[in-house]
């Protein structure tokens, strides 16, 4: 087919409307009679709400509604632990917790009304660190929990015997802090309860059906009375899955007023309300034998979920065990503890816990390689899990491009040449470092289903409409679905429309999480398109007085082989399918549920249909007078199985690599007694174009047997290796091993001072 874009660099189907400013984000939606909401947030990390005086706010001209926690449904919501009220009631547990909402004719009036609300607080002891929360006699963030949100213990093999065989053992503690999602579009929602009593919500989300379920739970409504539509979403990075409160507050206000209500976070409100990544302290001990094979791994993690658990337990589980599966290892042990504090809640973030352990693991592997005189790339290569193997936790690796990623990175970065160059001795010193990672493509953990359904309609003009609830938040899900549909039907990409996810019209799907959309929804799209093509061929056979085996579909036409005069366009065939006795519009539905296995109580099982791998090398320059670290060059290799859209894969890889650079060198949420001090882009330093090099990337196509055309996920893996690659490069440049992020000039200078004082400089 001449129109197929599979494997070709393809601009996203939404690109034109975005760059021309015509894309409709939630904050752009305007409805007749629409009101505007603003939220009052707690100034205290932990306090009892003694009273609330909202009379003056309600009396302000233009104010239509004021609600506090006492006005909200008593039913609590949460991912697993049901801990939340829509607005805080009885207590506040972190600075920024939502306490009241004002709805007015305009945002200015709503904001003025917030200043008139008087909340009386009785300050309570605040737990600002996990150490405080775990101390004997500590107050409880949630009564009866002892501040323990989750505890995980996993053991395989004989760890003690493994360490006894080791010729080199390394032990260290690493600190991986929180990172704000940093999406350009802050959370925004428009909600409206119509005269029929049904609630419609347009919001920025990664999952319309998970959003609907959460709304139903929090508002104590049947799910069938709620419709959620995904507006154009300006980035999610995990922060818009199921944990934000913006959509719940907006929906509550709309349900009381029966008028459209708009709630858009400003940037400070988004910093306070968004779920930054889970901070973790990781103690890691590993041993290798004389051949560089990992013989034992022992991990202890203390993770902080903040005031509410959300998805933090699932994030911590990923940190605790995912990286075990990228190596051929028999002896592993993990003890992970998730702790409540009075800091803002943490939760899902791109990489979903992989990047925290990736920093520790890859730093460790570099140290072990040095101790036994082995190139770290070779140590990775010797331990890498291969296609067809089963990991220590039961993960069945259908395809592994791990080794090929290492080879590609080494060639692109001239690894051996750069490693062999003489060490710099001047003020500016260069070094190189590398790291590797794995990630899932799909994840059977939310329930014993990890599937997707796609509905495909062929219209009377021969063009196709795809209905799917898999959300596109910029990563290219809609483009991937359109490419597959166009390829299978033999039509141009422009002849496929992928409708926005809508719980009223889209078939059920979990949404964009766990890098699942390509491998799960892509397979469903292949099945739907092939079923539609089969129906087309039958209709064409009837119209052309031929048998199906004689027909050829290509470039929007169906013809009889060897008789081009006997042909019909897809539009003609689609109309023929309708306008005949017993005819109907051509519509098919197909589903795909991966043949995976949920983890058992011992965390053993094959949870994903595919597993992605990546490797990255960086070259840095360290200024020994200022401590500044500059990334000079980097190359990231991404094993995505098959690149359905290489341009999209490169975009995802580049974005992930830049986020990793930001987490490693720049980004740091600054708190003072639980109060965020840098909740804006002026004070929260994120990498800009002049602080990162051109991101070079390559693709490894390992041909995943469970994926559509061999494809698997390519959205998250590339964020994982960056931190350790940079840390390893800094060590290579100046001999300073930094175990806590971000790698600031102060830490670099402190490390150099220690080297000088100990005579190792």
pLDDT, position 2 = 65
3-state secondary structure 459-508: CCCCCEEEECCECCCCCCHHHHHHHHHHHHHCCCHHHEEECCCECCCCCC
Peptide bond before residue 113 is cis, with ω within 30 degrees of 0:
no
Question: How many angstroms separate the Cα of 635 from the Cα of each of 411, 424, 613, 733?
Answer: 10, 22, 14, 18
User: Shortest CA distance to 611 belongs to which of 444, 450, 392, 441?
Assistant: 441
Cα–Cα distance between 81 and 92 in angstroms, integer? Answer: 17
- Write the Ramachandran bin of 400: left for phi over 0, alpha for psi from -120 to 50, otherwise beta: beta
pLDDT in tens, 233-243: 999 999 999 99
For the chain, the straight-line distance linking the first and the last C-alpha, in angstroms and rounded, comes to 63
pLDDT, position 411 = 98
Say if residues 590 and 466 touch (Cβ distance below 8 Å): no
User: Shortest CA distance to 382 belongs to which of 508, 473, 289, 445?
Assistant: 289
Say if residues 503 and 208 touch (Cβ distance below 8 Å): yes
pLDDT in tens, 352-365: 999 999 999 999 99
Give per-10-residue mean pLDDT for the chain (761 aa).
86 95 96 98 98 98 98 92 95 98 98 98 97 97 97 98 98 98 97 94 98 96 98 96 96 97 98 97 98 98 98 98 98 98 97 98 98 98 98 98 98 97 95 98 91 97 97 96 97 96 97 96 98 96 95 92 93 95 95 96 97 98 98 98 97 97 97 96 94 96 98 96 98 98 98 93 75
Cα–Cα distance between 311 and 678 in angstroms, integer? Answer: 24
Q: Which residue in the block uniquely carries the two structure tokens 């060198």?
A: 665
Cα–Cα distance between 286 and 299 in angstroms, integer? Answer: 9
Cα–Cα distance between 313 and 278 in angstroms, integer? Answer: 9
What domains can you pick out in the chain, each with its CATH number? 15-20+451-593 (3.30.365.10), 31-124+184-235+240-273 (3.90.1170.50), 362-444+605-757 (3.30.365.10)
Cα–Cα distance between 751 and 295 in angstroms, integer? Answer: 31
Q: How many CB atoms lie within 10 A of CB 754?
A: 12
Cα–Cα distance between 535 and 557 in angstroms, integer? Answer: 14
pLDDT, position 264 = 98
| Tokens (6 digits) for 138 | 């500590």
Dihedral angle over CA of 384, 388, 389, 395, nearest 10: 100
- Write the Ramachandran bin of 388: left for phi over 0, alpha for psi from -120 to 50, otherwise beta: left
Provide the pairing of β-strand 346-347 with 557-560: unpaired
| Tokens (6 digits) for 337 | 């503890």
Q: Which residue in the block uniquely carries the two structure tokens 């107050």?
A: 139
Question: How many angstroms separate the Cα of 370 from the Cα of each of 280, 324, 366, 375, 376?
Answer: 26, 21, 6, 7, 7
- The DSSP string of 425-455 is -SSEEEEEEEEEEEEEES-TTSSS--EEEEE
What is the pTM assigned to this prediction?
Answer: 0.97
Instruction: Please tell me what DSSP assigns to residue 584.
Output: -
């Amino acid at each position: 087919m001449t129109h197929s874009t599979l494997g070709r660099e393809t601009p996203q189907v939404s690109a034109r409307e975005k760059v021309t400013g015509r894309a409709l984000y939630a904050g752009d939606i305007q409805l007749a009679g629409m009101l505007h909401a603003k939220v009052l947030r707690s100034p205290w990390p932990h306090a009892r709400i003694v009273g609330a005086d909202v009379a003056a706010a309600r009396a302000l001209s233009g104010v239509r509604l004021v609600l506090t926690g006492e006005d909200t449904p008593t039913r609590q919501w949460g991912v697993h632990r049901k801990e939340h009220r829509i607005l805080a009631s009885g207590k506040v547990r972190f600075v920024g917790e939502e306490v009241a909402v004002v709805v007015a004719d305009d945002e200015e009036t709503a904001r003025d009304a917030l200043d008139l609300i008087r909340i009386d607080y009785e300050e309570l002891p605040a737990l600002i660190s996990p150490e405080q929360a775990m101390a004997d006699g500590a107050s409880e963030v949630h009564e009866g929990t002892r501040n323990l949100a989750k505890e995980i213990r996993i053991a395989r093999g004989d760890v003690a015997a493994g360490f006894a065989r080791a010729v080199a053992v390394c032990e260290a503690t690493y600190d991986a802090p929180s990172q704000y999602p940093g999406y350009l579009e802050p959370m925004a929602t428009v909600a409206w309860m119509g005269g029929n009593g049904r609630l419609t919500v347009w919001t920025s989300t990664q999952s319309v059906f998970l959003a609907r379920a959460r709304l139903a739970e929090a508002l104590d409504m049947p799910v069938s009375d709620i419709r959620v539509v995904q507006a154009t979403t300006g980035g999610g990075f995990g922060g818009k899955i199921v944990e934000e409160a913006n959509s719940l507050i907006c929906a509550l206000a709309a349900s009381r007023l029966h008028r459209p209500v708009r709630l858009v976070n400003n940037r400070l409100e988004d910093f306070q309300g968004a779920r930054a990544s889970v901070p973790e302290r990781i103690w890691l001990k590993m041993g290798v034998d004389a051949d560089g094979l990992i013989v034992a791994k022992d991990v202890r993690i203390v993770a902080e979920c903040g005031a509410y658990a959300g998805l933090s337990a699932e994030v911590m589980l990923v940190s605790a065990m995912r990286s075990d599966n990228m190596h051929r290892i028999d002896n592993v042990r993990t003890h992970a503890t998730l702790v409540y504090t009075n800091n803002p809640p943490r939760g899902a973030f791109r990489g979903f816990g992989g990047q925290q352990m990736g920093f520790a693991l890859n730093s460790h592997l570099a140290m072990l390689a040095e101790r036994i005189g082995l190139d770290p790339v070779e140590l990775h290569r010797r331990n890498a899990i291969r296609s067809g193997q089963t990991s220590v936790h039961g993960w069945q690796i259908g395809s592994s491009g791990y080794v090929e990623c290492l080879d590609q990175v080494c060639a692109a970065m001239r690894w051996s040449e750069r490693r062999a160059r003489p060490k710099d001795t001047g003020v500016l010193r260069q070094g190189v470092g590398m790291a590797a990672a794995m990630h899932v493509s799909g994840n059977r953990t939310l329930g014993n289903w990890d599937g997707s359904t796609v509905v495909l309609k062929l219209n009377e003009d021969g063009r196709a409409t795809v209905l799917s609830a898999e959300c596109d938040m910029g990563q290219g899900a809609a483009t991937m679905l359109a490419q597959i549909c166009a390829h299978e039907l033999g039509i141009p990409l422009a002849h496929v429309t992928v409708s926005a996810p809508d719980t009223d019209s889209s078939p059920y799907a979990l949404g964009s999480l766990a890098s699942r959309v390509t491998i799960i929804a892509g397979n469903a799209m292949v099945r739907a398109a092939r079923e539609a093509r089969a129906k087309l061929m039958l209709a064409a056979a009837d119209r052309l007085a031929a048998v199906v085996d004689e027909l050829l579909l290509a470039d929007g036409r169906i013809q009889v082989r060897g008789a081009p005069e006997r042909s019909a366009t897809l539009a003609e065939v689609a109309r023929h399918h309708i306008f005949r006795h017993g005819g109907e519009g051509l519509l098919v539905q197909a589903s795909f549920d991966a043949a995976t296995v949920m983890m058992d109580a011992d965390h053993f099982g094959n949870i994903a249909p595919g597993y992605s791998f990546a490797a990255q090398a960086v070259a840095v320059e360290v200024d020994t007078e200022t401590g500044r670290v500059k990334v000079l060059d980097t190359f990231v290799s991404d094993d995505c199985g098959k690149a359905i859209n290489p341009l999209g894969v490169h975009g995802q890889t580049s974005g992930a690599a830049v986020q990793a650079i930001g987490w490693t060198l720049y980004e740091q949420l600054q708190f003072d007694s639980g109060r965020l001090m840098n909740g804006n882009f002026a004070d929260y330093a994120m990498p800009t174009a002049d602080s990162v090099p051109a991101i070079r990337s390559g693709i490894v196509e390992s041909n995943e047997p469970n994926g559509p055309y061999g494809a698997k996920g390519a959205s998250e893996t590339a964020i994982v290796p960056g931190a350790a690659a940079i840390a390893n490069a800094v060590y290579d440049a100046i001999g300073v091993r930094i175990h806590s992020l971000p790698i600031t000039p102060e830490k670099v200078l402190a490390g150099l001072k220690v080297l000088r004082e100990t005579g190792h400089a």
